Structure 1
Amino acid sequence: MNFAMKAVAIAIMGFSLNAMAVQKDITINANVDPALDMTLSDAQPLPASVLMQYIPGVGHGLAPYSMQTKIWSNNYSDVNIRLANDVLLYDRAGSSHTVGIKVTYGGTSTADEVTTAGRTMTKDVLFPGGATTIGTGSIEQELRFTQNPPGEELPAGNYTGVVGIVLTQSTTATPPAV
């Protein structure tokens, strides 16, 4: 009987330890396109959100926000880049004021602007080492968000908006440079 009591006591201790267990769940998400992607230059994912700093005073407005990126591809081909829609920041408090955002990729000139119409980036510029270099990603290029028009003073608010960047591989040959 002493043995039976010990067995019951051990069983009760085992159940009480399990009652104190804690489980932590972490959801993992992945947006997979096996042919094309854009990452930070160190191959980390692009941030889900960024904070543009507002600098008070005449001519300052929102400070530009930029990050160094790379494009990854399984094919040595031209890449089209465009915006899913025009980028506007809306005041979360509900005011009617919006802030336009200009997006550029690879520089700050008008030719580097990314719009809903899109533009083509040639494979020779993205992968200057040729087809054998696609495994290391494209050259690093700056993805930049700028207030449009720059320096506009803004009323107080908590502004938010989404930049939707769409990358596709070009299906037509790039005409030769003239």
Structure 2
Amino acid sequence: MGLFDMFKSDSGDKMTPHLAFATSLIYMMSADGEIDHEEIGHLLSVLGGSDQGNGSIGVGAQNQALLDSAVKYRRKNSIDTFLQEAAPLLSDAQKMCMLVNLIDSSLADGQPEPEEQALFGKFLQAFGVSEARFRPFFEIIVLKNDRTVFTNQSHPKNDPSYQVKLSLPS
């Protein structure tokens, strides 16, 4: 046993789809070098709230372990390593769920930063999802996060002739 062997791995966590989901959100939150309160709020809402009845704020014990594993993984691995390891484990539905939540996370603080946009592009590429295929999901998430439709009556989407439609790729 080498002198520093005890520091090699403090986590025997095997990558799973659930761990990949939580880890992907950590990568997105930290992409621009700062983690905003809105991003933390989004993460907590996605992973699940506090243990019922104990009055704590944050994630429950099971999700705290998941979050701890995700943070440890993020500290030790590049995004490229993560994507190579996670992508083959995920079903199409899991990939799309992850992508939708990543966009939602990037919009949680208002507008996606360039680093978040670049990171999202890496996810699309690694998952084999084209921008055209993802566009309808993107449009819905953007609409979900555009609260100015309530506070700005002259918002273009408040025009009586405007109708929300999904444009599906052909």
Q: Which has the higher contact order (CA 8 A, sep 6+)?
A: 1
Q: TM-score range by the shorter chain?
A: under 0.3
The structure that has the greater radius of gyration is 1
Q: TM-score, normalised by structure 2?
A: 0.22
Name whichever structure is richer in helix by fraction: 2
Name whichever structure is richer in strand by fraction: 1
Q: TM-score, normalised by structure 1?
A: 0.21
